[in-house]
């Protein structure tokens, strides 16, 4: 189910047709998340929503920070509250999973993101619930929790790394959906729609996390060669991702349409 949403855009407030002098206050949508939300060098699903004429009544606030885990998103709760949002869309947790599956990445995140403990499903659940309860206590916003698109495109892979990623993304889907139900907030089934697509047409397994390949795509291919995210995805032989982790337009549009449906119920 998709819940009620209110939002914001950087456009001029719409005017009342009967009284052109009176501006209609836009509805503020705060989007809290990590790199998928920040959308630097990857498909920008928030910009896609902003450019649609039907969304002129919304003003979107992008509160995505690359590399964030649920612990970091919880620490940025004051920023969300300060926006005085009508709606909050929360998409967080992929880095919690990646840090558990890839020890080298965990060590990097521990220093970079100043983690006080090792990431786990239990800690993620605690952090996400605190985010929701904090927003409910400090705002009147409608809140929506989005489940997570899988890393890799091989849902039935026997490779131990991809198999563990698949297991954890399904586990986190259940956690996110359960919190949404128990806390009485909206739920955006991103995992479910994304999973349907890769089950229908399986692709590559994601088996190694390499920083060098991310920098190559982001800095050299995109900013020096000027390639689009979809062109980079084709070079890397991904259908829904750029690099197995970050979304191209095909994967990102799944999220955009789900959030759009959420907005239209506001």
Residue 197 lies in a domain: yes
Report how far apart the first and last C-alpha atoms of the chain are (Å, whole number): 13
Residue 188 lies in a domain: yes
CATH number at residue 90: 3.40.50.1110
| Residues 90/73, Cβ–Cβ less than 8 Å | yes
Rounded CA-CA distance 12/52 in Å is: 13
Residue 1 lies in a domain: no
Residue 237 lies in a domain: no
| Residues 194/250, Cβ–Cβ less than 8 Å | no
28 falls in which pLDDT band (50, 70, 90)? very high
Any idea what the Cα angle at residue 34 is, between residues 181 and 5, rounded to 5°?
Answer: 45
Rounded CA-CA distance 153/32 in Å is: 25
pLDDT at 221: 75
Residue 212 lies in a domain: no
Residue 64 lies in a domain: yes
Residue 173 lies in a domain: yes
* Listed residue (43, 49, 80, 58) closest to 5, CA to CA: 58
Exposed/middle/buried for residue 44 (C-beta within 10 Å: 0-12, 13-18, 19+): buried
122 falls in which pLDDT band (50, 70, 90)? very high
pLDDT at 266: 74
Distances (CA, A) of 184 to 2, 20, 177: 12, 38, 10
Judged against a pLDDT cut of 50, whether residue 130 lies above it is answered with yes
Residue 13 DSSP label: P
Distances (CA, A) of 131 to 75, 110, 113, 165, 219: 9, 21, 18, 24, 33
Domain residues for the domain of 101 are 15-202+249-264
Rounded CA-CA distance 101/113 in Å is: 17
Count of helices and strands (H, E) across the chain: 12, 7
Residue 81 lies in a domain: yes
Q: Tell me the per-residue pLDDT of 172-231, one tens digit each, with 9 for 90 and over.
A: 999 999 999 999 999 999 999 999 999 999 999 999 998 777 667 666 677 677 789 999
Domain count for the chain, please give it: 1
């Amino acid at each position: 189910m998709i819940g009620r949403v209110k939002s914001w855009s950087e456009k001029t407030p719409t005017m009342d047709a009967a009284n052109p002098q009176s501006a209609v206050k836009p509805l503020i949508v705060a989007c809290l998340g990590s790199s998928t939300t920040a959308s630097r060098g990857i498909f920008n699903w928030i910009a896609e929503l902003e450019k649609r004429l039907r969304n002129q009544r919304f003003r979107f606030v992008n509160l995505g920070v690359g590399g964030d885990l649920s612990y970091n998103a919880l620490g940025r709760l004051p920023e969300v509250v300060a926006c005085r949002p009508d709606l909050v869309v929360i998409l967080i947790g992929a880095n919690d999973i990646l840090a558990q599956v890839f020890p080298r990445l965990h060590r990097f995140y521990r220093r970079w993101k100043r983690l006080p403990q090792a990431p786990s499903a239990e800690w993620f659940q605690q952090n996400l619930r605190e985010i929701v309860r904090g927003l409910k206590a400090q705002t009147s916003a409608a809140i929506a929790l989005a489940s997570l698109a899988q890393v890799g495109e091989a849902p039935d892979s026997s490779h131990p790394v991809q198999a563990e990623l698949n297991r954890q993304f399904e586990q986190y889907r259940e956690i996110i959906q359960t919190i949404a139900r128990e806390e009485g907030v909206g739920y955006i089934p991103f995992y479910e729609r994304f999973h349907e697509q890769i089950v229908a047409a399986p692709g590559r397994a994601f088996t190694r996390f390499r920083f060098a390949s991310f920098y190559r795509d982001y800095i050299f291919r995109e900013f020096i060669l000027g390639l689009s995210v979809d062109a980079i995805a084709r070079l890397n032989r991904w259908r829904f991702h750029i690099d197995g982790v970050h979304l191209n337009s095909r994967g990102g549009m799944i999220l955009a349409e789900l959030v759009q449906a959420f907005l239209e119920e506001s």
